[in-house]
């Protein structure tokens, strides 16, 4: 792994920021790296405010969407809320369903079966709506490319309102209203909403139209924050405001379903908790069974029912974890057995692998063999699978060059899904490996740790930590700062920890005293550190609590022994 520093901002700008905000120089550098250049921008950043949210009517088709839903309320129409089976889609369905049920008498949540219907708007879903007498479908986190499906629904007398955030194609579906800030003809100021975020803008507009109290929107922000965290959209602008208030809602009054998923958490939830505790469990329902069960958990209103449904979701997650661990083991063994250590890409496949976890497995394989990876499994007479890439490499372009060896594929730069027939498998493998070898650069073959700033250990103080915590919520485009400190030495407290002694508790001597850090899966550095050899660390600041006493702790991402 190569360590790479972020560019150092303009010195005069940094000094002016430090002076005007009365903050330490390292904090001023961190702010400047995030595009904050003056007092007013810093105030907006540190003090998110409800008034920073944009008027939802600025979004193209918003008025039409509001009018159509109001008509459905007036005529007492039956409405289907349709969403994708991932966290963004599931939370979107829960958000829109719970909001509309307070206003309409008949609202049906619907999430397609991952295996029988596939991604996005489905014919089966439309047929189900028709059989139930539904005349309006609100699709969330999908639909912007469902041209034929929307036309099919129209023939059956069903209108569509689409709330999507994916990039539209050249032609838009003929929906009654299509809300997507990425539409080329949409002037909405913030383009990086997730699907649940677009859904929230719709209920915000409906709240204004029906003259409901603005406070009624607050209970939905726990869902929006969960979706933003899980969908890895930039936590800047409107997303930052929604996350900020969403975390407050999660701390003080979360819905019963999320509360049940966070029941063992002893501190206020963070974006990290949503990403690593809540999101995998919601996703597990759709991977191992049906995502509607996760939506039902999020719609639950009693603690007892939430506890029961959360226990089922936990079972799915336990099963998912065991399944992806086993498949990852088999995938790595397959690479080993074929002697493909130095291949430009990894393409692995098996008839019996669970297709709900192949994307996770692809990411795990990259942790061992850092290169673009395809994991395939059988589905009837075809192979289906997931593709994951490495930093900087556009895997979508490589797949495009191999399109003649696939039935279909879709995705983006770093992740994709694909389907191929049995007789295409070997041709695809050869083509994909050749395309990756042709396109990948030497730089892209090496994992990189990008850090914000190098500081001496003497500057690591509780005050620095407290100010950094005010920069939360952290996420894309505002990641938790990573520092580098060099010339560290053991204070005698470094020890091997964990069941298999695979982790390190690192004790570091400074001129101000001692610091402790945790380095997971880095036990190999123990002998050299204990010999007193100086070392460098890349880390973020954290807090440890033991017996009610809080202390500063370093979360060490990487260690380098200095020669």
What pTM was computed for the model? 0.92
Instruction: Give me the pLDDT at residue 169, please.
Output: 87
Cα 515 to Cα 350, 441, 489, distances in angstroms: 48, 39, 11
Residue 341: predicted pLDDT: 78
Composition of the chain by helix, strand, coil, percent to 5: 45, 20, 35
Confidence tier at 198 by pLDDT (50, 70, 90): very high
Cα of 213 vs its chain's centroid, Å: 31
* Interatomic CA distance for residues 485 and 498, integer angstroms: 25
User: How confident is the model over 137-166, as pLDDT tens digits?
Assistant: 999 999 999 999 999 999 999 999 999 999
- Report whether 360 contacts 327 (CB < 8 A): no
Mean pLDDT computed over 88-94: 97
Q: What angle, 0 to 180 degrees and rounded to 10, lies between the N-to-C axes of helices 195-209 and 62-74?
A: 60
Backbone angles phi, psi at 46, to 5 degrees: -80, -20
Mean pLDDT across 58-80: 98
Peptide bond into 203 cis (omega under 30): no
Q: Across the chain, what does the average pLDDT equal?
A: 95
Q: Decide the pairing of beta strands 453-454 and 483-488.
A: parallel
With H, G, I as helix, E, B as strand and everything else as coil, classify residue 344: coil
Q: Is the pLDDT of residue 563 over 80?
A: no
CA–CA dist 533, 552 (Å, integer): 24
> Average pLDDT for residues 475-496, to the nearest whole number?
95
Q: Would you place residue 411 in the very low, low, confident or very high pLDDT band (cuts 50, 70, 90)?
A: confident
Q: pLDDT tens for residues 114-139?
A: 888 888 899 999 999 999 999 999 99
- Which tens digits make up the pLDDT trace of 415-462? 999 999 999 999 999 999 999 999 999 999 999 999 999 999 999 999
Task: Confirm if 362 and 332 have CB atoms less than 8 A apart.
Answer: no
pLDDT at 335: 95
State how far the alpha carbon of 506 is from the alpha carbons of 160, 486, 498, 511, 559, in Å.
57, 14, 13, 16, 10
Average pLDDT over residues 378-407: 95
Helix (H) or strand (E) holding 534: none
User: Would the pLDDT of 320 be above 80?
Assistant: yes
pLDDT of residue 410: 84
Domains and CATH numbers, the chain: 2-6+449-561 (2.40.50.460), 56-311 (3.90.1640.30), 340-445 (3.10.310.30)
- At 373 the pLDDT is 97
CA distance 224 to 204: 12
Q: Can you give 239-305 as a three-state secondary structure string?
A: HHHHHHHHHHHHHHCCCHHHHHHCCCCCCCCCHHHHHHHHHHHHHHHHHHCCCHHHHHHHHCCCHHH
Alpha carbon of 316 to those of 83, 90, 194, 283, 385: distances in Å? 20, 16, 25, 9, 21
Distance CA 241, CA 235 (A): 9
- Give the pLDDT band of residue 16 (cuts 50, 70, 90): very high
Residues 243 and 273: their CA atoms lie apart, in Å, by 13
Q: H-helix or E-strand containing 358?
A: helix 358-368
CA distances from 547 to 95, 198, 427, 519, 551 (A): 39, 43, 60, 22, 11
CA angle 354, 361, 410 (to 5 degrees): 80
Task: Write phi, then psi, for 283 (nearest 5 degrees).
Answer: -65, -35
pLDDT above 90: percentage of residues in the chain:
90
- Residues 253-278 have a mean pLDDT of 94
pLDDT of residue 340 exceeding 80, the answer is no
Per the model's pLDDT, the better-predicted residue between 323 and 341 turns out to be: 323
In Å, what is the CA distance from 421 to each residue of 404, 424, 519?
Answer: 11, 5, 45
Distance CA 412, CA 421 (A): 22
**For position 172, what pLDDT does the model report?**
97
- Tens digits of residue pLDDT in 219-245: 999 999 999 999 989 999 999 999 999
Q: Which residues are CB-contacts of 512 (< 8 A; sequence separation ≥ 6)?
A: 457, 458, 461
Average pLDDT of 108-117?
A: 92
CB atoms within 10 A of CB 70: 14
C-alpha 346/C-alpha 331 separation (Å) is 9
Position 482 confidence tier, pLDDT thresholds 50, 70, 90: very high
């Amino acid at each position: 792994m190569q360590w790479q520093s972020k560019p150092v901002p303009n010195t005069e700008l940094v000094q002016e920021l430090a002076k005007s905000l009365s903050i330490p120089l390292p904090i001023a550098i961190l702010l400047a790296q995030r595009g904050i250049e003056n007092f007013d921008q810093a105030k907006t950043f540190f003090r998110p405010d409800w008034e920073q949210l944009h008027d939802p009517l600025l979004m193209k088709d918003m008025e039409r969407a509001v009018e159509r839903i109001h008509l459905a309320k007036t005529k007492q129409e039956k409405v289907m809320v349709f969403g994708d089976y991932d966290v963004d889609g599931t939370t979107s369905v829960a958000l829109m369903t719970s909001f509309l049920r307070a206003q309409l008498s008949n609202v049906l949540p619907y999430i397609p079966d991952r295996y029988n219907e596939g991604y996005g708007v489905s014919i089966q879903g439309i047929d189900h709506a028709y059989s139930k007498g539904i005349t309006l479908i609100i699709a969330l986190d999908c639909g912007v490319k469902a041209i034929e499906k929307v036309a099919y629904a129209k023939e059956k007398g069903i209108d569509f309102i689409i709330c999507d955030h994916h990039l539209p194609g050249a032609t838009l579906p003929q929906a009654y209203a299509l809300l997507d800030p990425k539409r080329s003809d949409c002037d909405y100021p913030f383009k990086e909403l997730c699907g649940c975020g677009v859904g929230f803008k719709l209920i915000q507009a409906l709240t204004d139209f029906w003259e409901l109290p603005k406070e009624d929107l607050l209970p939905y922000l726990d869902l929006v924050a969960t979706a933003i965290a899980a969908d890895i959209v930039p936590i800047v602008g409107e997303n930052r405001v929604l996350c900020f208030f969403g975390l407050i809602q999660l701390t003080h009054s979360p819905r019963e379903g999320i509360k049940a998923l966070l029941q063992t958490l002893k501190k206020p939830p963070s974006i990290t908790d949503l990403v690593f505790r809540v999101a995998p469990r919601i996703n597990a329902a759709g991977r191992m069974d049906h995502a509607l069960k996760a939506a039902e958990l999020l719609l639950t209103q009693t603690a007892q029912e939430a506890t029961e449904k959360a226990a089922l979701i936990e079972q799915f997650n336990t099963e998912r974890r065991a399944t992806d661990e086993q498949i990852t083991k088999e995938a790595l063994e397959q690479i080993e057995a074929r002697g493909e250590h130095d291949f430009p890409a990894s393409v692995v496949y098996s008839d019996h692998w669970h297709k709900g976890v192949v994307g996770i497995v692809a990411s795990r394989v990259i942790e061992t063999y850092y290169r673009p990876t395809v994991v395939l499994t059988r589905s009837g007479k075809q192979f289906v699978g997931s593709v994951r890439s490495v930093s900087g490499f556009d895997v979508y372009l490589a797949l495009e060059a191999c399109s003649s060896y696939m039935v279909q594929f879709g995705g983006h730069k770093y992740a994709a899904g694909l389907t191929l027939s049995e007789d295409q498998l070997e041709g695809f493998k050869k083509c994909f490996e050749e395309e990756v070898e042709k396109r990948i650069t030497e730089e892209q073959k090496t994992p990189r740790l990008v850090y914000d700033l190098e500081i001496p250990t003497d500057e690591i103080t509780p005050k620095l930590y407290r100010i950094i915590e005010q920069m939360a919520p952290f996420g894309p485009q505002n990641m938790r700062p990573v520092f580098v400190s060099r010339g560290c030495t053991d204070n005698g407290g470094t020890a091997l920890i964990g069941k298999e002694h695979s982790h390190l508790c690192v004790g570091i001597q400074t001129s101000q005293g001692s610091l402790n850090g945790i380095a997971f899966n880095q036990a190999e550095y123990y002998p050299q550190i204990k010999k007193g050899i100086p070392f460098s660390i890349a880390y973020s600041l954290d807090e440890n609590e033991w017996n009610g006493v809080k202390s500063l702790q370093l979360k060490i991402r990487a260690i380098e022994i200095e020669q």
